[in-house]
Amino acid sequence: MEVAAFHPPARSRVRATRLCGPVPRLDRGGEAAAAAVRGVGVLRVTLGANLSDYDPSYGEFTVQALAPSSVVTYSALGQKVEVGFDNGLTAQTWKVPAAEAQAVRDRIGPIRNVSADVLLRITGVQPGPGGGRISTVVADYELRNNQDGTTLARVRVSQQ
């Protein structure tokens, strides 16, 4: 089975909360990669995060941008870096009581186009040819309606 990765729209942003100087190129031993994120600890990413339709049997929407197969890709100093979500299966689930689900659907409209400001905790770095991968866990996120900029929810992700 082949799974396509989600690539966020061009307006997505990746920002290190604390950056310790320029990001060095990734090397085979991983020392430069580890040094690139040492002291950073967290990343904040803004994504286009389309929602699934509400699933009444599970009482949830799915935040498609946080799916386990999703990656955020960006270029830095000629290197292609991917940011992946170790807890994507848990993070993608936004539980909403059935009584509130219709109000959410009415606010976001039929396209279900929302943005997510996501706080990621760095768990590891994997060097690769021409770049590498930063592994993270989603700590929390805020969903915003793209039509009017209002906050739909603030979701804290279980870290079990």
Within a domain: 8? no
pLDDT, tens digit (0-9, with 9 covering 90-100), for 58-89: 999 999 999 999 999 988 788 899 999 999 99
- For the purposes of burial, counting CB atoms within 10 Å of the CB of 36, is it exposed (0-12), middle (13-18) or buried (19 or more)? buried
**Is a pLDDT exceeding 70 seen at residue 38?**
no
Could you give the CA distance from residue 98 to residue 77 in angstroms, rounded to a whole number?
47
Domain coverage including residue 54: 13-156
Q: Indicate the pTM of the whole model.
A: 0.75
Domain contains 7: no
Distance of alpha carbon 116 from alpha carbon 54, whole angstroms: 17
pLDDT tens per residue, range 107-160: 998 888 899 999 999 999 988 888 899 999 999 999 999 999 999 999 999 987
Whether 5 is covered by a domain: the verdict is no
Question: How many structural domains is the chain composed of?
Answer: 1
Q: Is residue 127 part of a domain?
A: yes
